[in-house]
Amino acid sequence: MDNAGLIVETLRAAGVSHGFGIPSGNVLPLLEAMRLGRLPYVLTAHEGSAAFAADVMGRMTGAPGLCIATLGPGATNLTTGVGNAFLDRSPLLAITCNLPTAQIGRRIQMAIDHHTLFRPITKASLALREGAVASVLAEALEIALSEPLGPVHLDLPEDVALARATESVPPIPAGRRRPAAPKASMTRASELLGAARRPVAVLGSSAMRLRNPRLLQAVIERHRLPFATTTMAKGMIPEDHPLALGCIERARRQVQREFLRSADLIVGLGYDVVEVEYEAWIGKVPLLSIDVDAVDADPSVTIAHEVVGDLDTSLEWLAELPPARPEWPADTAPRHRERFHRSLRPELAGFVPHHAIDVVREVLPRDGILAFDVGAHTHQIASQWTTHAERTFLITNGWSSMGFGLPAAIAAKLARPDRPVVALVGDGCFQMTCGEVTVARRLGLSLPIVVLDDGWLSLIQVKQVRRRFGLYGTDLGEQVHADPPAHYFGVPAVGARSAAELAHALERALAADHPTVIEARVDPGHYLDTVYDEPARPQNSRAES
């Protein structure tokens, strides 16, 4: 067995189910080992999409996702998706297949320093060398699977891949968890929670990595805490729960801020500030943070106390405390949620984004998976969509990159072929990644791809209007009266100009044995009112992302 075969056997033992990428001559030894070792290789249209797909495979399976690229431009293309996994905390291995060892460091075509490239956007950048393949791969797996989870880069010279293996498949590490928080810290948390009369919990993306996600609902119900979520934490508790308030810091954010600022204690449960910083919305309300990391906040935030440690252990402890005594009326959360959702759906003539989103939610079964993209529609979907289970609502919020939605949907369908999956993307995002429809076609995936076609980069257009700038550089072309093409790269395309047409097209697409592109022609006008319902902020404010 050569080292490439050793790598494949080790990855399979670690639970890696697919690799995503684009090959070159330097990649071929690893590609051949994947063929012989029956580790499926998915040829994508772009390396960035390969890394997005690997990120989502890591989220869905718990084993590291795998993406592979050649040196130079393959490596640089890969970095966008790898950075996504870094900020969104997804376990991932990114392998760059490099020149032979003797040529590394020379001024040779396509050659760059891969370790310098990947070091800022990974937990580690490691070199695979003869005699140090299995051991380094085991180290990479442990790093990727240790809290907080994330990507590790591995550089594989071609001669190392081809060399005879001198090691065996190593024991597969499980990853390290954070130590439990000190008992005194937990005691102080219980005192603060017990003294609060209007506490509100806010769930964040660290909670997505709980070993026992049911602990969240146990804590919420034990202490009768109204709860909101960040975008990525949606579904950790079903959003039709009687204590659910909805998503924060997306469309109609002021409605949520008003309620949160009426609390006397915010309890951050697994709240990772990379999604949105506390100072954007918390006001003067004291914060009790319970997370795997210390809070990174502006001095204006009143941090009453922090519990830093293994999140499962902290939540287990909270779930066993005597119940808190909040004084919220019993119908507080349902009344607020109704008001919030009503504000998201202005009564408008024509076919608008919130109509299309509601259609997709109604047609997709409760356990169906939605993967969507970044733009104005992200704000509307995050606030409007009701999520019923964890890992059924896929988006990037830490990295927040366009181009995520379609490769994410492909990976989700590969990981959960038993579940219906829908990709819901904007027309700007579809232009970036439309080549990936060929991947879904090649794999024979039943995958509806709903494109919200409004002819603009709508999120940036909204920002231009708010800053009183001219509309320039954001027009994707007037297509309101145009019909979609018959197909994209062999994938059938249909148009929808009403809710009824979209529902019919989506039902047919979910029943098909192939992908389908559905172009929903929507009027984006209401984004101006729902996406930002606040005074304009400086251009570089994170709150505008």
Q: What is the pLDDT of residues 365-418, one digit of tens each?
A: 999 999 999 999 999 999 999 999 999 999 999 999 999 999 999 999 999 999
Summary mean pLDDT of the chain: 94
Tokens of 364: 């997709």
Shared domain for 352 and 329, answered yes or no, is no
CATH number reported for the structural domain that contains residue 144 in this entry: 3.40.50.970
If one counts the domains in the chain, the total is 3
Within a domain: 24? yes
Structural domain ending residue among the three candidates 95, 127, 162: 162
Q: What is the pLDDT of residues 469-527, one digit of tens each?
A: 998 888 887 654 578 888 999 999 999 999 999 999 999 999 999 999 999 999 988 88
Shared domain for 464 and 371, answered yes or no, is yes
Residue 449 CB neighbours (<10 A): 28
Residue 250 DSSP label: S
Across 186-326, the runs of DSSP E, i.e. the strands, are 199-203, 227-229, 244-247, 265-269, 287-291, 303-308
CATH number reported for the structural domain that contains residue 331 in this entry: 3.40.50.1220
Shared domain for 67 and 151, answered yes or no, is yes
Tokens of 494: 């249909």
Within a domain: 133? yes
Question: For 198-230, b where at least 16 C-beta lie within 10 A, e where not — what string?
Answer: ebbbbbbbbbbbbeebebbbbbbeebbbbbbbb
Within a domain: 168? no
Residues 286-314 have a mean pLDDT of: 97
CA nearest neighbour of 240 among 436, 390, 381, 386: 386
Within a domain: 8? yes
Percent of the chain clearing pLDDT 90 (strictly above): 87
The predicted pLDDT at position 535 comes to: 58
Shared domain for 328 and 409, answered yes or no, is no
Shared domain for 213 and 290, answered yes or no, is yes
Please give the residue range of the domain that contains residue 445. Answer: 344-544
- 123 pLDDT above the threshold of 80: yes
List all residues 6 or more positions away from 195 whose beta carbon is below 8 Å from its beta carbon: none
Within a domain: 99? yes
The predicted pLDDT at position 534 comes to: 66
Rg (CA), the chain: 24
Shared domain for 137 and 238, answered yes or no, is no
Residues 3-25 have a mean pLDDT of: 97
Shared domain for 12 and 88, answered yes or no, is yes
Residue 319 CB neighbours (<10 A): 17
Structural domain ending residue among the three candidates 295, 323, 339: 339
The predicted pLDDT at position 541 comes to: 39
The predicted pLDDT at position 367 comes to: 94
Q: How far apart are CA 372 and CA 400, in angstroms?
A: 11
Q: How far is CA 116 from CA 75, 79, 103, 106, 113, in A?
A: 11, 12, 17, 15, 6
Helix locations, 14-46, DSSP H:
28-37
CA nearest neighbour of 166 among 296, 314, 26, 2: 2
Residue 544 DSSP label: G
CA 201 to chain centre: 21
The continuous run of DSSP H or E covering 372 comes out as strand 369-372
The predicted pLDDT at position 110 comes to: 86
- 450 pLDDT above the threshold of 60: yes
Residue 171 DSSP label: P
Among 28-42, 67-81, 187-201, 530-544, whose mean pLDDT is lowest?
A: 530-544
- 95 pLDDT above the threshold of 60: yes
Q: How far apart are CA 191 and CA 434, in angstroms?
A: 53
Residues 250-262 have a mean pLDDT of: 97
Residue 172 CB neighbours (<10 A): 17
The predicted pLDDT at position 172 comes to: 96
The predicted pLDDT at position 155 comes to: 98
The predicted pLDDT at position 458 comes to: 87
Q: What is the pLDDT of residues 263-282, one digit of tens each?
A: 999 999 999 999 999 999 99
Q: Following CA atoms 409, 413, 415, 417 in sequence, which dihedral angle do they give, to the nearest 10 degrees?
A: 170
The predicted pLDDT at position 479 comes to: 55
Q: What is the pLDDT of residues 25-66, one digit of tens each?
A: 999 999 999 999 999 999 999 999 999 999 999 999 999 999
The continuous run of DSSP H or E covering 448 comes out as strand 448-453
Helix then strand then coil, in percent of the chain rounded to 5, is: 40, 20, 40
pTM: 0.94
- 449 pLDDT above the threshold of 90: yes
Q: How far apart are CA 163 and CA 276, in angstroms?
A: 47
The predicted pLDDT at position 475 comes to: 84
- 430 pLDDT above the threshold of 90: yes
Residues 212-233 have a mean pLDDT of: 98
Within a domain: 83? yes
Shared domain for 530 and 442, answered yes or no, is yes
Q: How far apart are CA 50 and CA 77, in angstroms?
A: 9
Task: Name residue, tokens 């204590």.
Answer: 243
- 544 pLDDT above the threshold of 70: no
Shared domain for 388 and 307, answered yes or no, is no
Shared domain for 251 and 216, answered yes or no, is yes
Among 66-80, 265-279, 349-363, 456-470, whose mean pLDDT is lowest?
A: 456-470
- Angle, CA of 117, 120 and 122, to the nearest 5°: 95
Structural domain ending residue among the three candidates 339, 371, 403: 339
Within a domain: 117? yes
Shared domain for 145 and 290, answered yes or no, is no
- 307 pLDDT above the threshold of 60: yes
On the 0-12 / 13-18 / 19+ scale of CB atoms within 10 A, 481 is exposed
8 Å CB contact between 507 and 440:
no
Within a domain: 430? yes
Shared domain for 303 and 355, answered yes or no, is no
